């Protein structure tokens, strides 16, 4: 096998593997190196997202949402199911099957595209050389014309509550519990903390979420955050804001977590503690001396707007560089870099990256919040439409939440769209497309939406921005 490649990608997560496939589609010779190891010691492509993040969490969120609906909503449909039983082992097995299918699918895609998969460690050396250490310890020196770094991120640890892998775990550990903890503590009320808290709460755990910040979901639109907090409380998530964890000690089967809030020193005792305070870029053993690649003060690989590092022909994409740590952002960067290497048009529109929280109700947004739009100084108008006025949402017994659109007064540009409610993560795609094509809110108003669908809520929200909504009162 040749050790010379047009492109060597280090990292086979959602940023690296699409980069490798697109580069091969562009007629380049490509190798993709990945060292991911699962708990059982098996290697798999797909990185955090497929093995320990997006996919397993969504599998458990889906299963546990069904449990919740069977327990609490079926009755309203006139369906009686008696006592709903849960077989956690079967639920976890289903999740593992979905993960395995997804990660093995990458190998099939590589084969089809002609990418050489290399399982093991990659290290960038000066002169566009890459040292590859295979699983069996064999070392090969690869020569590349271009290198794409896609080494991802890892969970941040908290000095006051260090991981022990058993009682105090990270998000991956929290996806692998083999029994429902009676009492679960979660540190961090961000996206991951809320999703994991929802999973175990729906299965019966008493869940306390400790959040150091005084505000709930500060990155979301204020109205959405307020509505979300109400629903999470209804689910039984005990969310304590302004609660800074000061220590955690394991005694026997319990963890005592101490924290300080406005009332002073407090503590809770739980069976398991999940630390979900965020993720940081991972570049362990990635860069030899003299490569010319630099890291910023937070450990991110420094890149320009086109993902170029200061070293010629070395690029970096995904969680290991600035920007939101999201799989789809990394994917677009990876594909754009592979196109740029091939001399094709390549651009990532960072202004329209959607965010989704897969809780119930689901939360999704793109662009500016109302607060951000107003503080930008540009005059803006807002339209919203409640799902309680949507026939489809009511028929689904899922009428919580609303769609909200923020548009500019001067030229009617859509500045941001915010959805909390059923299928928000799917509905936001229309707003992303509209913003990508620089649509105005009037463009959305004049677009026919099928009836009865959830997407009519977005249509009506756009109409409401000009006080022309039909199916709700215009305020
Ligand atoms: C619980 C959880 C849920 C999430 N849910 C979502 C979601 O719903 N939607 C979403 O968009 N994002 C979600 N994320 C975030 C998402 O997983 C990341 O943004 C995404 O995985 C980043 O992709 P990446 O390719 O940059 O890095 P990673 O997925 O971390 O992949 C990097 C890969 O590179 C490998 N690697 C690193 N260094 C080397 C080296 N030197 N040699 C060889 N291999 C190396 C790693 O082993 C890994 O396999 C979630 C994350 C978590 C933890």
Q: What is the distance between the alpha carbons of residues 458 and 450, in angstroms, rounded to a whole number?
A: 12
Residue 272, pLDDT > 80, answer yes
CB 387 within 8 A of CB 398: yes
Q: What is the distance between the alpha carbons of residues 248 and 257, in angstroms, rounded to a whole number?
A: 4
Selecting among 72, 77, 306, 451, the annotated active-site residue is 451
CA dihedral 422→424→430→436, nearest 10 degrees, is 170
In the block, tokens 């869940």 appear at: 207
Q: What is the distance between the alpha carbons of residues 9 and 431, in angstroms, rounded to a whole number?
A: 32
Average pLDDT, the chain: 97
Is 451 part of the annotated catalytic residue set? Answer: yes
The token pair at 449 is 């939406």
Taking only the tens place, the pLDDT of each residue in 298-321 is 999 999 999 999 999 999 999 999
Three-state secondary structure call for residue 386: strand
Question: Whole-model pTM above 0.95?
Answer: yes
The token pair at 292 is 């010319």
Sign of CA dihedral 282, 285, 286, 292: positive
Q: What is the position in ligand 1's atom list of the atom closest to the CA of 15? A: 25
Q: What is the distance between the alpha carbons of residues 56 and 44, in angstroms, rounded to a whole number?
A: 14
Nearest-10 crossing angle of helices 222-235, 191-202: 20
How is the beta sheet containing 272-275 ordered, strand by strand? Answer: 168-169, 272-275, 183-187, 206-210, 238-240
Taking only the tens place, the pLDDT of each residue in 23-54 is 999 999 999 999 999 999 999 999 999 999 99
pLDDT of residue 475: 82
> Which amino acids bring their CB within 6 angstroms of ligand 1?
10-16, 33-36, 47-49, 53-54, 57, 121-122, 150-153, 171, 192, 282, 285-286, 318-319, 325-328, 330, 358
Q: C-alpha angle 64/65/69, rounded to 5°?
A: 120
CA-closest residue to ligand 1 atom 48: 47
Residue 1, pLDDT > 70, answer no
CB 380 within 8 A of CB 436: no
CA-closest residue to ligand 1 atom 3: 53
* Residue percentage of the chain with pLDDT more than 70: 100
pLDDT of residue 2: 73
Q: What is the distance between the alpha carbons of residues 196 and 281, in angstroms, rounded to a whole number?
A: 21
Between the CA of 300 and the centroid of ligand 1 the distance, in Å, is: 14
Q: Which residues is 356 bridged to in the sheet?
A: 364
Nearest-10 crossing angle of helices 456-464, 424-436: 50
Q: 154: buried, middle or exposed (CB in 10 Å: 19+, 13-18, 0-12)?
A: middle
């Amino acid at each position: 096998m040749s050790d010379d490649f047009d492109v060597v990608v280090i990292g086979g997560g959602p940023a690296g593997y699409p980069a490798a496939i697109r580069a091969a589609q562009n007629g380049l010779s490509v190798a993709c190196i990945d060292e991911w190891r699962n708990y059982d010691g098996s290697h798999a492509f797909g990185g955090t997202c497929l093995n320990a993040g997006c996919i397993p969490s969504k599998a458990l969120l889906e299963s546990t949402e069904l449990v919740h609906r069977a327990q609490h909503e079926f009755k309203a449909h006139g369906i009686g199911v008696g006592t709903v039983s849960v077989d956690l082992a079967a639920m976890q097995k289903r999740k593992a099957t979905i993960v395995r299918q997804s990660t093995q699918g990458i190998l099939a895609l590589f084969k089809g595209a002609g990418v050489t998969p290399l399982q093991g460690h990659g290290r960038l050396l000066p002169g566009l050389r890459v040292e590859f250490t295979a699983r069996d310890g064999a070392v090969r020196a690869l020569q590349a014309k271009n290198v794409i770094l896609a080494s991802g991120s890892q969970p941040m640890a908290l000095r006051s509550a260090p991981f022990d892998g058993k009682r105090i775990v990270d998000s991956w550990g929290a996806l692998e519990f083999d029994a429902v903890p009676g009492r679960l503590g979660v540190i961090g009320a961000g996206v991951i903390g809320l999703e994991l808290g929802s999973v175990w709460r729906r299965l019966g755990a008493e869940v306390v979420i400790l959040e150091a910040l005084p505000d709930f979901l500060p990155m979301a639109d204020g109205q959405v955050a307020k509505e979300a907090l109400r629903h999470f409380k209804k689910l039984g998530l005990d969310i304590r804001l302004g609660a800074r964890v000061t220590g955690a000690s394991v005694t026997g089967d319990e963890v005592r977590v101490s924290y300080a809030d406005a009332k002073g020193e407090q503590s809770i005792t739980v069976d398991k503690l999940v630390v979900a305070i965020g993720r940081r870029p991972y570049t362990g053993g990635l860069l030899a001396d003299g490569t010319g690649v630099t890291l910023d003060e937070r450990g991110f690989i420094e890149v320009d707007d086109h993902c170029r590092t200061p070293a010629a022909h070395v690029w970096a994409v995904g969680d290991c560089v600035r920007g939101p740590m999201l799989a789809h952002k990394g994917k677009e960067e990876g594909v754009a870099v592979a196109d740029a290497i091939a001399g094709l048009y390549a651009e990532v529109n960072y202004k329209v990256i959607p965010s989704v929280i897969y809780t119930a109700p689901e939360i999704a947004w793109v662009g500016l919040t109302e607060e951000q739009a107003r503080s930008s100084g540009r005059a803006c108008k807002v339209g919203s439409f409640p799902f309680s006025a949507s026939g489809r949402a009511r028929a689904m017994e899922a009428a919580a939440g609303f769609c909200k659109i923020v548009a500019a007064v001067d030229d009617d540009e859509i500045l941001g769209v915010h959805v909390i409610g059923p299928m928000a993560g799917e509905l936001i795609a229309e707003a992303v497309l509209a913003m990508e094509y620089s649509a105005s809110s009037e463009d959305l108003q004049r677009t026919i939406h099928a009836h009865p669908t959830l997407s009519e809520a977005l249509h009506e929200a756009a109409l409401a921005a000009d006080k022309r909504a039909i199916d709700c009162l215009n305020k």
